[in-house]
Amino acid sequence: MRALIQRVSEARVAVSGAVVGEIGPGLLILVCAMRDDPDDVHERLARRVVRLRIFRDEEGRMNRSLLDTGGAALIVSQFTLAADTRSGNRPDFSTAAPPDRGEALYLRFAEAIAREGVPVATGRFGATMQVSLVNDGPVTIWMES
């Protein structure tokens, strides 16, 4: 499972012009299930994400986690994180999980984040979405399980 994590002061996702998920301060997490991911991959990644110390402390250092700050998570599926661009001009997405498995792992990941006590909003799996955000920092972190 791959995740692109952005520390945000706000973020929202819309489908056909209607907002389906939005948060204030927290993390926008773009996530992609990979074809060879084990069944429990979502649990490990969720634990790591909510404990990732990328929020400022009183001294301005990145020393606090999402759990420490009480922020929220907006989780958006994005199979294009599986893109292999090593050859040619068209990305190859064959390493992404098939849609049914990808959706299941995406939903399990969102549930695992929520079980950690983090308020969660989501996009809509498989939909064409418009994502808007205010990246705080900017801070953007790439994670793989």
Q: Which of 6, 55, 79, 109 is catalytic?
A: 79
Q: Which of 6, 55, 78, 109 is catalytic?
A: 78
Question: Taking residues 54-74, what's their average pLDDT?
Answer: 97
* Domain membership flag for residue 144: no
Domain hosting 84: range is: 2-138
50, amino acid identity: V
Q: What is the pLDDT of residue 13?
A: 98
* Domain membership flag for residue 88: yes
Instruction: Check which CATH number belongs to the domain holding 125 and give it.
Output: 3.50.80.10
- Give residue-wise pLDDT tens across range 19-51: 999 999 999 999 999 999 999 999 999 999 999
Q: Check whether 145 has a pLDDT greater than 90.
A: no
β pairing state of 120-122 and 72-77: parallel
Query: What is the domain count for the chain?
Result: 1
- Give residue-wise pLDDT tens across range 78-93: 999 999 999 999 999 9
Confirm whether 78 is a catalytic residue.
yes
* Domain membership flag for residue 143: no
Confirm whether 130 is a catalytic residue.
no
Confirm whether 80 is a catalytic residue.
yes
pTM (two decimals): 0.96
Q: CA–CA separation, 62 vs 49, rounded Å?
A: 14
